Structure 1
Amino acid sequence: MWKHIASNALSLLVVALICLGGLIAWGVKAYRAPGPLAEAICVQVEPGSNMRRVSQDLAAQGAVGTPQILRIGADYTDRTSALKAGSFLVPENSSMEEIVAIVTGDGQSTCGTEIVYRIGVTGQRMEIRELDPATNRFAVDAAFDPATETADPLYGEMRTRPETRFRIAVAEGVTSWQVTEALKAADFLSGDIGSVPPEGTLAPDSYEVAPGSERTELLSRMEARQSERLAAAWEARVDGLPYDTPEEALIMASIVEKETGVPEERDQVASVFINRLEQSMRLQTDPTVIYGLTNGEGPLGRGLRQSELQRVTPYNTYAIDGLPPTPIANPGLASIEAALDPASTEFLYFVADGSGGHAFATTLAEHNANVARWREIEAQNAGQ
């Protein structure tokens, strides 16, 4: 009798183990299988939330069918404690495994409402925008210039919401003075700015910040990023360049940045100025003259006068040999790389060609012909 009972118990245990194994296999398969989402959604994880609350929210939005499996999978892979607060884009058909990776990743929000403060060469603009998960594109709901305009009411509403994230977007070619002045108008930042950082040392880029962040801390991040970019580009530079230091290369990069907004032209523009330096020709570039007149404190707002082109100043490259003493703006990575890996050309001249780009020439005669064509285009545009 006892043998019969033991035999039955052993059989039941084997069956139970088989069932348990099957249940685990089913759970693992369900955890890794494509999910039921028909289109992408934005999932918000509130500060102080937990995986149970998040899994229930995901189930309510149709992202997961069995929230318990998501929680078990997160626990088993030790990801539960890594849950981050923020707004996260969950693509269509995401598996529970992929969703857990999204909400426990680096914590950088990828959707939801975003306040972007754009610092540009001609001004600044505060944008309140929101990502449409279905198209993965941002739509601007409101915008204003915080330095000259009253804040849009939506800005006051959205800036106080904990899920709203903030970003500073610095355009290529802005000056250090423009950046520091613009940051003073960002009322979601804190702290005073002392001296203006040296020209060229701030990396144009997009920076996510937390409300209340110190302005000086953000400037330090910009300086560190530019230093890293310059060091890497200097290390990878081609041979034979007419620079003795990375700082001289940064000066050249800033000139390239101000001379063209066409990405494909940067290495050609760099080649022109490098060829000129190698042939002991003056650079003769208007942006350096303008910088000498404005000290980088905004656009000149008019054309250069002949008297200004003839006046000898440290930044007048029509009147001095070699490079100006400092950069004339904060160049982006592409311009830094162009200055340290320029195109191999014999170009010595360039002028606008009417298309937004430039016509390049190796001889003065070719250049004069290009200039004549450009003046014809200007005259035609003036007559329209």
Structure 2
Amino acid sequence: MARSHVSLRFLVVTAILALAPLAGGWWAWKGQGPLQQPGTVLVRKGMTLNQVADQMERDGVIRSASLFKLWARARKLQLIRGEYTINPRASLSDVAGKLRRGEIHYTNVVIPDGIQAWSLQKRLRDFVPEEVFWKLWRSPRLARTAGFPDAEDLEGLVAPATYRLHHAMEPEEVMLMLVEAFRNQVKPRLEGGPLPPYQTLILASLVEKETRLPEEQPKVAGVYLKRLRMGMRLQCDPTSLYARWASGDLRFTAPTPEDIRRPSRFNTYTVAGLPPTPIAIPGPSALEAARAPEVGKNLYFVATGLGGHAFAPTLSLHNRNVNAYRKELARQRRMAHG
């Protein structure tokens, strides 16, 4: 009888010892992982399975790179380049499942109408380091990709849109996405106007920065085109601001008399013709206005102080509109001070 009890205990102990590795394996695979807070796994271009597994173990995302490698090879895992967000305490099974399913985390980056290089750089800084951005900004290869190989930089050669980016993308890949969108979506709209396509783009950028009202934009484009044909300086306030920024002064304030007088190839108060590049990303309505300007008698315009502009064919009428604008500003200041 005692012998049978000993045999039974021996069998139980043997079974426990046999099952212990299995239980340990199950816990290593399904148990809570070591991550204390949300984490990220980046599978970059060219990374091998071993590199990804070892990096996850070093970063405290998983406990065992070896176990992950065994699973990945058994499943013939094909790594999909991308950014993967991992929840706290995610199990090795959870992490492996995300990678197998290719659940890439994207960040939506909005590039709106009207912004220029310095604002664009700030919007992309999490994906394109600043020094790399400015190097790529002047890349002849990217300018060729946009469709304007003679452009000195990428100002204006970016399509306004919402871009889905992830942190495993290479900086050049991000910039390439932006200029390819321009080539496909914007460049075709530049054909058929009174100016060559790149000059149409420059004119559209001036229109974009002068007024956001679609009903006014063809009139503004018409005034500038008429001035170009007459050899008259455009005297576009936004170009004086762009000249300020190009000089390294990044104050985003209204133009000053110093800005207006600044000698610069971008400042259309001090040089004739269009600036050498666009001064912003024009939107669809500004592009259409530059392609089909409303050329009439008007040669001047000034803000009304009420959100729009007053147009005039002569300097005397323009001066009258300027006086009305100043009176409106004075009225608003009085109202603001009670």
The alignment's TM-score, normalised by the length of structure 2, stands at 0.58
Distance 1:172-1:248 versus aligned 2 partners, 3 A rule: same
Match of 1:261 in 2: 212
**Matching residue's letter, 1:247:** Y
Distance 1:377-1:267 versus aligned 2 partners, 3 A rule: same
Match of 1:293 in 2: 244
Matches within 5 A, 1:232-247: 232-235=188-191, 237-238=192-193, 241=194, 243=195, 245-247=196-198
More helix by percentage: 2
For structure 1, the 5+ residue unaligned runs are 1-161
- Structure 1 contact 175–296 (Cα < 8 Å) conserved: no
SS in 1 for 2:124: helix
**Matching residue's letter, 1:269:** V
SS in 2 for 1:263: coil
Identify the match of residue 308 of structure 2 among 357, 376, 383. Answer: 357
Match of 1:222 in 2: 178
Matches within 5 A, 1:365-376: 365-376=316-327
**Matching residue's letter, 1:182:** R
Identify the match of residue 277 of structure 1 among 204, 211, 228. Answer: 228
- Structure 2 contact 156–282 (Cα < 8 Å) conserved: yes
- Structure 1 contact 183–215 (Cα < 8 Å) conserved: no
1:376 Cα deviation after fit: 0.8
- Structure 1 contact 282–318 (Cα < 8 Å) conserved: yes
Are 2:74 and 1:166 equivalent residues in the alignment? no
1:352 Cα deviation after fit: 1.0
The structure with the largest alpha-carbon Rg is 2
Distance 1:311-1:168 versus aligned 2 partners, 3 A rule: closer
Are 2:125 and 1:184 equivalent residues in the alignment? yes
**Matching residue's letter, 1:338:** A
**Matching residue's letter, 1:171:** P
- Structure 2 contact 264–270 (Cα < 8 Å) conserved: yes
Distance (whole Å) between structure 2 residues aligned to residue 349 and residue 358 of structure 1: 10
CA-to-partner distance for each residue in 1:222-255, whole Å, 9 max, x for gaps? Answer: 11222234431233x24xx2x3x32211111111
- Structure 1 contact 352–358 (Cα < 8 Å) conserved: yes
Distance (whole Å) between structure 2 residues aligned to residue 299 and residue 359 of structure 1: 30
Distance 1:328-1:354 versus aligned 2 partners, 3 A rule: same
CA-to-partner distance for each residue in 1:301-345, whole Å, 9 max, x for gaps? Answer: 344333432343212211211111111112223222211111243
Match of 2:276 in 1: 325
- Structure 1 contact 178–298 (Cα < 8 Å) conserved: no
**Matching residue's letter, 2:165:** V
Return 214-223 or 191-200, whichever deviates more.
191-200
Match of 2:332 in 1: 381
Distance (whole Å) between structure 2 residues aligned to residue 316 and residue 378 of structure 1: 26
Distance (whole Å) between structure 1 residues aligned to residue 108 and residue 249 of structure 2: 23
Distance 1:185-1:301 versus aligned 2 partners, 3 A rule: same
Higher relative contact order (CA 8 A, sep 6+): 2
1:210 Cα deviation after fit: 4.3
Match of 1:248 in 2: 199
Distance 1:229-1:267 versus aligned 2 partners, 3 A rule: farther
For structure 2, the 5+ residue unaligned runs are 1-102, 139-152
Distance 1:229-1:363 versus aligned 2 partners, 3 A rule: farther
1:205 Cα deviation after fit: 1.3
Percent identical across equivalent pairs? 35
**Matching residue's letter, 1:219:** M
Distance 1:205-1:296 versus aligned 2 partners, 3 A rule: farther
- Structure 1 contact 230–246 (Cα < 8 Å) conserved: no
Are 2:231 and 1:231 equivalent residues in the alignment? no
- Structure 2 contact 204–289 (Cα < 8 Å) conserved: yes
**Matching residue's letter, 2:110:** A
Distance 1:313-1:373 versus aligned 2 partners, 3 A rule: same
1:297 Cα deviation after fit: 6.8
Task: Tell me how many residue pairs correspond in the alignment.
Answer: 217
- Structure 2 contact 208–286 (Cα < 8 Å) conserved: yes
More strand by percentage: 1
The alignment's TM-score, normalised by the length of structure 1, stands at 0.51
Matches within 5 A, 1:47-196: 165-185=106-126, 193=133, 194-196=135-137
Distance (whole Å) between structure 2 residues aligned to residue 297 and residue 182 of structure 1: 19
Distance (whole Å) between structure 1 residues aligned to residue 124 and residue 248 of structure 2: 14
1:192 Cα deviation after fit: 5.3
Matches within 5 A, 1:331-342: 331-342=282-293
SS in 1 for 2:224: helix
Distance 1:262-1:174 versus aligned 2 partners, 3 A rule: same
CA RMSD of aligned residues (A): 2.7
Distance (whole Å) between structure 2 residues aligned to residue 185 and residue 297 of structure 1: 22
Distance (whole Å) between structure 2 residues aligned to residue 281 and residue 336 of structure 1: 22
Distance (whole Å) between structure 1 residues aligned to residue 169 and residue 258 of structure 2: 46
